[in-house]
Amino acid sequence: MKKISLYLIPYSLYLISLCLSSCGNKSTSAKQNEKAVARVGDVYLYTSVLKEIVPKDIEKKDSTEVIHKYINNWVRETLLFQMAEKNLADEKKNFEKRVEDYRKSLVTYEYESELVKQKLDTIVNEDEIQKYYEENKSNFELKDNIIKVIYVKVKKKAPKIDKVKEWYRSDNQKDKDALSNYCYQYADNFFLDNNNWLLFDDVLKEIPMKLYDKEAFLQSNRHIETQDSTHYYFVNIKGFMTKNSISPLSFEKENIKSIILNKRKVELIKKMREDIYNDGVKNKSFEIFMN
C-alpha cells in the first residue's frame, strides 16, 4: 500500500483563510459597530480578530509587538492572495475536487491505520524469520563490511594497561570477566558483545586511523592496537563479512521482521477492501449503470 504523506497547512495560508473568513465577511451592521485596524482592497481586519491572537497574560509592550507583527503579516499575505486570485485562471482556482480527493484519502488512511492497529498480528516467530531468510537470501547482499568485535577505549593514565592488552585478546572466560569489570570502572568506551554484528565503518569512527582498502585490511588483521594523545584503543576482530557477500541472518532479523509485518499489513488491508466490496454486492449497496 502506498503511504500517504501528510503535509501541514503553511502558516501563511492559514493566516489568509482565517482573516478572509473572519475579517472580510462581516455583516454591514457588524462592520459599522466594529473598528477596523487594516484594509487591503475591500477586505478589512477587525479588532475582534486581534483579541483572539493575543494571550491574556502577556505584557502590554509584548502584546503591541505581537499585534503589529500580525497586522503586517496579514497585509502582506492578503495582498499576495488577492494578486493570485486576480491573475490565476478559474480552472487553476478550482480546488473542490482536489480537496475532496484529499479528504477521502485521509479518511481511508485513518480507517486502515485503526484497522491495522486493532487486528494486525505483530508476533513473528523465529521459524518465520528463518524461512523468509532462506527463501530470499539473494535479497540480503551486504552493502557494507560488518564485523564481530571486542573494542576498548581507555585513557593512557588508566591502570593495568598491560593486563588490558592480554584480556582483550583472550577467549578465556576468566579474562573476559576481568576485562568487563575493568571496562565498567575505567574505559571511556567499550563493546564486549562479540555475538552481534556491527558495521565496520561505525567501529572505525571510534578509532584514530584511516584505511584505504578496508576489505584487504579485514582479510589480514585480527587485532588493532593504536593510540592518540590521550587514549589507547584495543580492537579484537572476532569475525567479519565483506560487502557484496550474503548478510548473516542474525544481522537481518529486525529487517526481516519488518518485512513480514509489512506484508501482513498489506494482506490485511487487501482483505478488508475485498470484504467491503463483497458485502456491497451481497447487500446491493451499489449499482453500475453501463453495459
| Every domain range in the chain assigned CATH 3.10.50 | 142-241
Model confidence over 76-107: pLDDT tens digits?
999 998 898 888 888 777 788 888 999 999 99
> Is residue 39 helix, strand or coil?
strand
Model confidence over 13-72: pLDDT tens digits?
444 444 444 454 443 344 557 788 899 988 998 888 877 777 777 677 777 888 888 899
Residue 148 pLDDT > 90:
yes
Instruction: Name which of 7-11, 161-165, 220-224, 237-241 the model is least confident about.
Output: 7-11
Rounded Cα gap, residues 180 and 283, in angstroms: 68
Q: Return the bridge partners of 226, or none.
A: 233
User: Which residues neighbour 210 within 8 Å (Cβ) at sequence distance 6 or greater?
Assistant: none
Grid cell 457588524 — which residue?
A: 30
Mean pLDDT (the chain) is 86
User: Which residues neighbour 18 within 8 Å (Cβ) at sequence distance 6 or greater?
Assistant: 49
Model confidence over 101-124: pLDDT tens digits?
999 999 999 999 999 999 999 999
Model confidence over 208-237: pLDDT tens digits?
988 899 999 999 999 999 999 999 999 999
> Is residue 240 helix, strand or coil?
strand
Q: Using CA atoms in the order 169, 146, 224, 163, what is the torsion angle rounded to 10 degrees? A: -30
Grid cell 527463501 — which residue?
A: 135
C-alpha separations of 182 from 179, 196, 226, 236 in Å:
5, 21, 19, 16
Q: How far is CA 202 from the centre of its chain?
A: 21
User: Which residues neighbour 251 within 8 Å (Cβ) at sequence distance 6 or greater?
Assistant: 146, 197
Extract the runs of DSSP E, i.e. beta strands, from 58-205. 146-155, 187-191, 198-199
Q: Using an 8 Å Cβ cutoff, are 24 and 42 in contact?
A: yes
Rounded Cα gap, residues 43 and 61, in angstroms: 28
Residue 4 pLDDT > 60:
no
Q: Which fold has domain 142-241?
A: Chitinase A; domain 3 (3.10.50)
The model's pTM is: 0.64
DSSP code for 55: -
Output the pLDDT for position 225. Answer: 95
